[in-house]
Amino acid sequence: MTADNSELPGPRLTPDPDPDSDPATAPPRWRELLGPEHRGAALVLAAGVLVGAVNIYLASSLLPTAVAEIGGESLYAWNMTLYLVAMVIATMLVSRCLARAGGAGAYLTGFAVFLVGSLACAVSPTMPVLLLGRCLQGLGAGLLSGLGFAVIRSALPRRLWTRGNALMSAMYGVGNFAGPALGGLFAQFGSWRGAFVLMAAVAAVCGAAVPRVLPRGERGGVAVPVPVVSLVLVTAATTAVSVSGVLPDTRARAAGIAAALLLVVGFAAHERRSERRVFPGATYQEGAALKWVYLTLGLLAFGVAVESFVPLFGQRLAGLPPLAAGFLGAALSLGWSLTQMGSSSAVREHTVRRLRTLGPVVLALGLLVLGLLQRAPASLWWVVSWVPVLGVAGAGIGMAYPHLSVAAMTAAKDPEEGRQAAAAIATVTTMSTAFGTAVAGVLVSLGGRSMLDSARWLLLGFAALCALGAFTARAADRPGHHPG
């Protein structure tokens, strides 16, 4: 890929370069982000995203062991549903929390709620108490995830935003890898409660560091009204799609997804007319690019859902043991995390725009090739060939995600709307993950009793859906579209 400085007509998503630095000749380095001046803030922002990402899959690995001790098998499926719904709700309240408590205060609130939820899970005598703890964990994790993208505006200088976004979004990949492994390790030794105690300890350590490393600013002068109708519609949509993901009947799943999509349409229609919004007003302006940025981010996050089923394919088609199959599924996250560490060094406008468009294409091609590589039965060496392909698919996410995140953060001129736009990145990511998991379940069920057909339905279907991200990315960069 070659970069140039050619200028095309029309406004751009990418803002003017930082006047203190020439990005064409002096791209920011990782040692600058992780140096003494910014290391504390960067690590706390990353840790806030990481604890939420780890917990998405941590409890899933522990739950069979927990059910054997405290019962509640009939409530098993609600573990993930309630956690994701709580996360989505919390991400939509980030701007309000910042206005009331400021950056440091909001982070202390997030870590405190997560800590209390983790301890509730650790001591839970019954499944309902465990689910209550998971709700609290989800609220804390959602708040921390959204704050990471919102507080970066004041915690780090503008030239480090892309690096900071890459570090935080890499935590989703690390969490997808570490969550199942950590949960499986604790479950192996029959100490599922210890895993939640560990997460509470991590939250306590991070919370103690917050006052020393994060700015206390960001507090607004007036109370920010809560967009109640928008919250209700998004909560209903997330609940519908999460519940549809665990329904046994394909038609019921499809109906749940259709209902969720209708609720999302209703949400967008309400937001366009309302003065109390979850997304900034720039999202709905005529000719604005922000909506296309969010759609592209959503399609990238949507593609991550295949990770939940790749281990199943490895076990059923190749006879892999559960541990090996689990690490196979993490190959996509590994490719995502490693690639964006390098892609975040791109600063030339032409290169950044190309990466935003190329990312969804690479993700879709990776899933397409993986779908074509499915065999029944599959030899061990054949399954090993899946690993680099999954890594390439993940690399597509890593190419585009940090640059799309910065595009969203800088899309609004008003500082308050800028924080709102940044916090919405976590909302889009979490909702897309929930939608992706539900749609993946429907596609897998289309294969019936044939695991090979199920694998092909899922991977080829997701390849087609994720390829749409190339068109939304191009729409965001189209001349005439502007940041708002």
pLDDT recorded at residue 323: 67
Specify the pTM: 0.82
Q: Is the pLDDT of residue 20 over 60?
A: no
Give 299-334 pLDDT, tens digit per residue. 999 998 888 788 888 888 988 886 677 777 778 888
pLDDT recorded at residue 214: 82
Residue predicted with more confidence, 262 or 426: 262
Question: Residue 364: phi, psi to the nearest 5?
Answer: -65, -40
pLDDT recorded at residue 464: 96
- Residue 236 CA to residue 244 CA, distance in Å, equals 12
User: 16 falls in which pLDDT band (50, 70, 90)?
Assistant: very low
Give 154-201 pLDDT, tens digit per residue. 788 888 888 888 888 788 778 877 887 787 788 777 788 999 999 999
Give 68-95 pLDDT, tens digit per residue. 899 888 787 788 888 888 988 898 888 8
pLDDT recorded at residue 27: 67
Q: Is the pLDDT of residue 4 over 60?
A: no
pLDDT recorded at residue 391: 93
Please tell me the least confidently modeled range out of 45-54, 122-131, 297-306, 475-484: 475-484
Q: Is the pLDDT of residue 26 over 70?
A: no
User: 388 falls in which pLDDT band (50, 70, 90)?
Assistant: very high
